[in-house]
Amino acid sequence: MTKPKSDLALPVRKARDGAKQEIVQNIPLQQLRPFHNHPFKTDNNAELERLIESIRQVGTIAPALARPLPNGGYELISGHRRLAACRALGLETMPVILRAMNDDEAVIAMVDANLQRETILPSEKAFAYKMKLDAIKHQGKASAPMVSRRVVAADAHTSEAQVQRYIRLTNLLPALLERVDAGQIAMSPAVELSYLSKDEQAMLLDAMEQNDCTPSHAQSIRLKKLSQAGRLRAEDIYAMMAEQKPNQREQIKLRWDDFCRYFPTDYTDEQIKRDIVQGLELLRRQRAQNRDARLSGTSKRTGRAGSKEKQP
């Protein structure tokens, strides 16, 4: 458990050899401010609950990072979830490394630290990549946008194209971006939709709500092409969202426990699929035969009844 003192100081050596030592201090929580425009959420989810329990058991092991503010207090660079966990536990202080940084250095450090999270939403990556890209450009370390993207991609261990795709998401309306985070809109269609104007996106949202659907990748490409050609009308959006898509047809889900006893334990998925299809085909034929038999029986009874009526 973090001790409620504010004067505890422990030396922490930087990763680079020969660099000066930094000091970990227990800073009162009330003096810590969240990073300005922090793109990473601190929702009360299972991940945060695990962190709270960990701090409850062994205390805050990894110190947060913050920089002094001109008017007093400290701006957190990394450690926002640790701050939320400490507040939830009623702690008064948390261990923090204090480091003087300018705005661009702070943005880059904040993004690099938070991209190490176990779970990151698409919107978080989108704004984090954009903030770091803008900071690198502002520093003048990269003279061309392509070079800046290369730096961001290398630090994130991803491709330049993927960085650019994520940054495109920052052009989406918040309501659309929320659906991307929720998994309702996939990454590929979301990137295409980011080329629509804000008014077009607003109409699309309304059409999605009316039809209780989301655009497919193919539809998103069509919407983008019409928008870039200046020919995307409201009726086009509503008509497109009214189309039935294969992935939105009603589905039936079966539990494996309900039918696993019908197959040998060493059966492969393909063998199981084959037997199911063959069994359903036999069932279809049997039903057809039963139907034909019933119709034939009904015909014979009707014929006999008619013959009796004709007898004098």
Q: How far, CA to CA in Å, does 254 sit from each of 117, 251, 262, 269?
A: 35, 10, 14, 14
Answer whether 127's CB lies under 8 Å from 170's CB. Answer: yes
Helical (H) or strand (E) element with 84? helix 80-88
pLDDT at residue 61, rounded to an integer:
87
Residue 67, strand partner residues: 75
Q: How far, CA to CA in Å, does 133 sit from each of 61, 102, 103, 161?
A: 31, 16, 13, 14
How far is residue 121's CA from residue 178's CA, in Å, rounded to a whole number? 10
pLDDT at residue 246, rounded to an integer:
59
pLDDT at residue 289, rounded to an integer:
84
State how far Cα 56 lies from the chain centre. 29
Residue whose pair of structure tokens reads 């655009």 in the numeric block: 215
CA-wise closest residue to 190 among 229, 225, 228, 217: 217
pLDDT at residue 298, rounded to an integer:
57
pLDDT at residue 249, rounded to an integer:
52
pLDDT at residue 60, rounded to an integer:
87
pTM > 0.75: yes or no: no
pLDDT at residue 303, rounded to an integer:
56
Helical (H) or strand (E) element with 66? strand 64-68
How far is residue 180's CA from residue 121's CA, in Å, rounded to a whole number? 9
Q: What is the pLDDT along the chain (312 residues), one digit of tens a residue?
A: 444 333 344 444 444 444 456 788 999 999 999 998 888 887 767 888 889 999 999 988 889 999 999 989 999 999 999 999 999 999 999 999 999 999 999 999 999 988 887 788 999 999 999 999 999 888 775 555 667 888 888 888 889 999 999 999 999 999 999 999 999 999 999 999 999 999 999 999 999 999 989 999 999 999 999 999 999 999 999 999 998 765 555 556 667 767 777 888 788 888 888 888 888 889 888 888 887 777 776 555 555 555 555 545
CA angle, residues 217, 218, 220, in degrees to nearest 5: 65
Residue whose pair of structure tokens reads 């000091």 in the numeric block: 23
Gap between the terminal Cα atoms of the chain: 106
Note the residue count of the chain.
Answer: 312
Domains of the chain: 1-102 (3.90.1530.10), 176-251 (no CATH)
pLDDT at residue 251, rounded to an integer:
54
How far is residue 38's CA from residue 86's CA, in Å, rounded to a whole number? 19
